[in-house]
Chain A
Amino acid sequence: MSGINDVLVTGTEGAASDYPIDNWGLLVALLLVALAAVISAVLKLGVERRLLWATVRSLVQLLAMGLIISYVIQVNQWWLVFALLGVMIIAAVQITLTRGSGLPKGLVLPVFLTLLASAVLMFSVVVELIIRPQPWYAPQVVVTMVGMLLGNVVSAIAVAITRLFDDMRTRRYEIETMLAWGATPLEAAMPSITSAVRLGLIPTIAQLASSGIVLIPGMMAGQIIAGGDPVQAARYQFVVLAVISSLTALADTLIVMLVYRVAFTENHRLRTDL
């Protein structure tokens, strides 16, 4: 078992990195963030406290995740891998709902189902169909792949559901008019649904198009730094980006279709408290 000190000093035992990051490295990174916070204070941007807090959170969370993954790798049991994925999905539900703004109640279950569905698809397609690790539940592949997917999906569906309900509020009179013609809730919500799915997808498409030119995605960069073959790293990265994009599109559509009905009552009327 590697303790916290090992992680802080050298990274996990047997880590593939040829260039480990020592504590000085972490400190330099923190100092740069502190500089950004000073700029924020001088310019009165008012984000310095949030910036510092987010930085500390990210450091602690990443190190914790590193520790947890190294523990799961050591124990090497399939059920532990899936227990970790379960915890990650539940945390992702909470993050999605706090990131969205102006959301009605009753979204926990649909968000959970959407994240679960995309994680299951990610696992079956990327891990078992494309990478085919040995053993089939190899934590270093499964946890990282699903983690990258969840990160993307969380951002996309938070944007999508926020936009959906914003747009339906803006279109309130239009929706009421359409219902008065005999439109179903789906027909009345459709313009908002398409606009929400589209908006949720824009960052994903932009990421796909710009990768390789101005952006070497984190995963590819990591593999190259760790001494991997750059072309192999590019193939890996492409598979991951392409599959994540399509699964994000799927999750985007799924969540919006699952939640638009929240704006309507059981007897197909628009909620007044939307």
Chain B
Amino acid sequence: MERNVRPAVRVGEPRPVLEVTDARCHVRHGDARKDIFTGLSLTLYAGQIVDLVGPSGSGKSTLMECMAQLNADADATMTLDGRSTDGFTPEQWRTQVAYVPQRPVLMGGSVAEAIRYPFTLRVRRDSSVRVPDDDTLRRALDDIGLDDVELDRSPQDLSVGQQARVCLLRTLLTGPKVLLADEVDAGLDPDNAMRAAHLLKRAADEGMAVCRVRHREPDGMATRTLELADGVLTDITGRTAAGAARTAGAANDTDTANDTDTTDTEAQA
């Protein structure tokens, strides 16, 4: 399953958007230094959804924060559309590699204001991304099962599940190239989780590279599934969740990095 070679890009193959090598994270507890992970590599392709699974505390959220250059303890060598991180300010990078945190945070007096907040930031002041008008917001909310949420409603009145979807929508509307969704369907019932999944699927179909941290059963949307456990990232695409956990545990005795770029051929076909 694991061939440590880079795939040659062929015609018709998916286009790599975000390439991550040597992702590493250490935390300090007093004098002791603990490695959460080191030397991880992965590539996210345009139009694909990649699921990131693994036990709690294995560092899935940290890996996502690392990709969005948000975690103070984690770093990686990365390129976006072939341009290295050096070519971006952290703010520019984050508008393109957008992380949606697990905990929904909505600021502002109304749902509309909360969704438009990212558009008020300096980094978007002269950008081509259009501020969504009321009609766009209305349609987008209806799409994800929030047709009963008025635009002028206070965001604090929404349920946690509703807030999670509004947060996801807010980031999608800013049009990033890569979307990192950290368990955004955790608080949702199956119907609404499916709606959120379809929203991401549509974004991927339009060319976005999507990565999801998930704890739910597979929903058939993911092109690939990666498992992060004990500091090692393994492609478990096509295996059952239970089997994957066993195989991953047996296969990952070493602490070496493994490249998952090459293991998605079945899913591509």
A residues with CB within 8 A of B: 173-174, 176-184, 187, 265, 267-272
Contact = CB atoms under 8 A, between A and B. Distances in A.
A5 to B, nearest CB: 54
Given A174-B105, A179-B94, A267-B90, A184 B123 contact: yes
Query: What is the predominant secondary structure among interface residues of chain B facing chain A?
Result: mixed
Nearest to B28: A273
Interface of B: 27, 68-73, 89-92, 94-95, 98-101, 103, 105, 107, 117-118, 121-124, 167, 171, 174
Contacts of A271: 72
A188 to B, nearest CB: 9
B109 to A, nearest CB: 14
B69 A182 contact: no
B105 A187 contact: no
Given A176-B101, A182-B91, 13 more contacts: A173-B101, A179-B94, A180-B94, A180-B98, A181-B95, A181-B98, A181-B117, A181-B174, A184-B91, A184-B121, A269-B71, A269-B72, A271-B72
A180 B121 contact: no
Nearest to A271: B72
18 contacts: A173-B101, A173-B103, A174-B105, A176-B70, A176-B101, A177-B167, A180-B101, A180-B171, A181-B95, A181-B117, A181-B121, A183-B91, A183-B118, A183-B123, A268-B91, A269-B70, A271-B72, A272-B27
Given A174-B105, A182-B92, A272 B122 contact: no
Nearest to B89: A268
Nearest to A180: B99
Contact of A174 (B71, B92, B107, B123): B107
Contacts of A265: 72
A171 to B, nearest CB: 9
Contacts of B90: 267-269
Contacts of B68: 180
A187 B174 CA distance: 17
Given A267-B90, A268-B90, A268-B91, A180 B70 contact: yes
A183 B121 contact: yes
Q: Which 10 A-B pairs rank lowest in CB-CB distance, beginning with the nearest? A: A181-B118, A182-B95, A182-B123, A268-B90, A177-B105, A269-B72, A180-B99, A182-B91, A182-B94, A265-B72
